[in-house]
Amino acid sequence: MVANSRVLLPLVLLSLVALVGCAESEEEDLFTWNVKVTGVDNSCTEDESGSTESLTVGATFEGSLVSLKVVGDESTDTFATGSISGCTVSYESQVVGEPDRAGGPVQWVLSGEAVFRTGGEVCNMAENVAETAADLDVDLESFDYLNGAEPDDVDWVGREIFEVVASENEGVPVGCTYTSFVAGTYNP
């Protein structure tokens, strides 16, 4: 056991050094947006009120591939990966779950698509905000979906769909979905 510890400790330390080195270079290439995620459709539960959450989304790009994470979350792990084409990013998570959910465990997959920019005047954001809002039946006048920004000032707009893929919770059936409108501004 002591011999194993002598071998494992240097390996663990080398792994930590490698991870810290990667994290520093990844942070340099991290693009972030302050977004508001607002539930607009819920076929999973009887609660139709929808939730709203403000958070910072970080993206790293490698060619046309993208990795997304929630910045400031205690977990700095990537929550979804995908690809970009022009001003559009499409992404999907791995299966995620709540093992300790009241009523029984639930697992889901998140998929999303958004139009984004990293500042500037490209991508006709006002038109994309209006189109996404109309597709999701969102009335932009009745609620501050855009965190006080004007449609031209928005740098990220899209939808996210959580689909339940496994459930031991009678109140949350497999196949149900929860759809959110996502909009925010770029942090240069």
Break the chain into its structural domains and give their ranges.
29-187
Rounded to whole angstroms, the Cα distance separating 55 from 82 reads: 20
Architecture of domain 29-187: Beta Barrel (2.40)
pLDDT for 28 = 60
Q: Looking at residue 142, what is its pLDDT?
A: 81
pLDDT digit string (tens) for 13-44? Answer: 233 233 333 344 445 689 999 999 999 999 98
Q: Are 78 and 67 in contact (CB under 8 A)?
A: yes
Structural tokens at position 166: 């496994």
